[in-house]
Structure 1
Amino acid sequence: MFRKKMGDRDELHVLAVDDSVIERKFLEIMLKKSHYKVTTAENGLRALEQLGLIGDENPSTMEGNDLKVNLIITDYCMPGMTGYELMKKIKESPNLKTIPVVIMSSENIPTRIKKCLEDGAEEFMLKPLQQSDVLRLRNHVP
């Protein structure tokens, strides 16, 4: 339901989640440069709203439950809800659990990386992301 079949690999839609405006804009630019359609969210709760997992007070401001993404990339360290917690909520949803989630962080903490990968993350990328990292995201979308 939340993944449409792609005839053209350039139509991939990524939900990018990061609490830093600068990091989020940088990621959006890199994704668009690699021909991804991009939707951004400033935190985990906003991402869950956009995915239709929790209600939104003003549904006219976005697509709501109609947001269809092929991949979610999220920062690990965010206030309120970590990228790990966001991934867990997505993986618990029957409608969203098949969407690949990539977690990124500027902190190289092996135990954190291992836990994220064991619990459902497709990949853990270290910031700052490079254009080659963004291109590699295509490998995670069937």
Structure 2
Amino acid sequence: MNGCGSSMSKEMVDSGDEPHVLAVDDNLLDRTLVEKLLKKSSCKVTTAENAARALEFLGLNLDNNQRNNSVSKVNMIITDYCMPGMTGYELLKKIKESSIFREIPVVIMSSDNSPNRVNQCLEEGAQMFMLKPLKQSDVTKLKGHLMNSRS
């Protein structure tokens, strides 16, 4: 890999015209798969191994005085639903409560597509709910949402 991993460097955020996706998953294999599929589709990808790291990357764990200088620009967030500490659903709620990030599409992934879980996520503002493991055809669907979020 080219240094993306779970490191969150600023040069990845500000360079190029590729859509930037923050991929959050506690499972290394799933996170790597999502990263490879998105990069294959010409996306810039930053990964985080849990919701706390994602919030840190976005600057949502900081107080309002610090937040403005450290906000990271992403075009989409894709997160696993089931993670220790904070679930993807709880991460979704925090993002949608943020005035800075509320308009960014959030996609929830899970190996369990129970109707209650899907509806709960969509009602809270998730753009899509996708079954794991992600496939290239899923990423093609995501690209449409990514292009819309960049305009």
TM-score by length of 1: 0.84
1:41 aligns with 2:81: no
Q: Which runs of 5+ in 1 are unaligned?
A: 1-7, 56-63
Number of paired residues?
A: 126
State the secondary structure of the residue aligned to 1:11: coil
Aligned equivalent of 1:119, options 112, 118, 124: 124
1:31 aligns with 2:60: no
Consecutive aligned runs of 4 or more in structure 1 exceeding 2 Å deviation: none
Q: Which has the higher helix share?
A: 2
Q: Which runs of 5+ in 2 are unaligned?
A: 1-15, 63-68
Deviation at 1:65, TM superposition (A): 2.1
Aligned equivalent of 1:107, options 108, 112, 137: 112
Residue-by-residue CA offset, 1:72-130 (whole Å, 9 max, x unaligned): 00000000000000000000000110110000000121110011011100000001111
State the secondary structure of the residue aligned to 2:59: coil
Q: Which amino acid aligns with 1:130?
A: K
Superposition RMSD in Å: 1.5
Deviation at 1:41, TM superposition (A): 0.3
CA distance in 1, matches of 2:133, 2:18: 25
Identity, in percent, stands at: 64
Aligned equivalent of 2:98, options 93, 101, 105: 93
TM-score by length of 2: 0.80
